[in-house]
């Protein structure tokens, strides 16, 4: 079944590793065969991988786009996801859902699910920030010299 994509002026997308940009008017594309496609809003650049969940997404994105290096990026993805789940055990159900999709050959679905992992990370960091803010006064004291 073909996939119809609306492609607005100035938008970019990646199709099988090639970056395509619409430099004209709005267009519609009809993709007739299976292809690895990511729209600009779904693409995370390497410079944007400042957090553990972003690294999971980026490695999986690369496995999806670059079929010639898929196994390399899947290995990185698994390592990053394992590290994330070890550091944040509450993420395990999301991580297992992502792994099930990827292990079932549905890498794009795994990418979409990894967005839930990024949401988990945001909530976790927000909770940590609130907790630290609540104890902010505890950190106002002068540092104690260990030799005293």
Question: 38-51 pLDDT, tens per residue?
Answer: 999 999 989 999 99
**What integer pLDDT is reported at residue 133 of this predicted model?**
73
3 state SS of 43:
coil
DSSP per-residue string spanning 57-94: HHHHHHHHH-GGGHHHHHHHHHHHHHHHHHH-GGGHHH
Q: What angle do CA 111, 63, 106 make, to 5 degrees?
A: 50
Which of 24-28, 44-48, 56-60, 130-134 has the weakest average pLDDT? 130-134
Query: Which pLDDT tens digit goes with each residue over 51-86?
Result: 999 999 999 999 999 989 999 999 999 999 999 999
Query: Average of pLDDT values for 110-135?
Result: 85
pLDDT at 75: 98
Using CA atoms, how far apart are residues 37 and 23, in angstroms rounded to an integer? 18
pLDDT band at residue 125 under the 50/70/90 scheme: confident
How far the first Cα of the chain sits from its last, in Å, is 74
What's the pLDDT at 7?
A: 86
Kind and range of the H or E run holding 21: strand 18-21
* Contact by Cβ (8 Å): 110, 102: yes
Which of 13, 5, 29 lies closest to 64 in space, CA to CA? 13
Q: What's the pTM value of the predicted model, to 2 decimals?
A: 0.81
**Token pair for residue 144?**
């104690």
């Amino acid at each position: 079944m073909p996939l119809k994509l609306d492609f607005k002026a100035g938008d970019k997308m990646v199709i099988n590793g090639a970056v395509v940009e619409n430099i004209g008017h709005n267009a519609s594309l009809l993709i007739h065969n299976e292809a690895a496609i990511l729209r600009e809003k779904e693409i995370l650049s390497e410079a944007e991988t400042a957090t553990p969940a972003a690294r999971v997404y980026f490695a999986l994105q690369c496995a999806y786009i670059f079929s010639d290096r898929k196994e390399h990026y899947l290995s990185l993805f698994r390592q990053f996801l394992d590290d994330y789940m070890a550091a944040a055990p509450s993420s395990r159900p999301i991580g297992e859902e992502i792994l099930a999709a990827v292990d079932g050959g549905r890498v794009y679905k795994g990418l979409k699910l990894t967005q839930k992992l990024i949401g988990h990370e945001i909530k976790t960091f927000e909770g940590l920030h609130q907790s630290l803010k609540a104890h902010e006064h505890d950190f106002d004291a002068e540092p104690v010299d260990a030799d005293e």
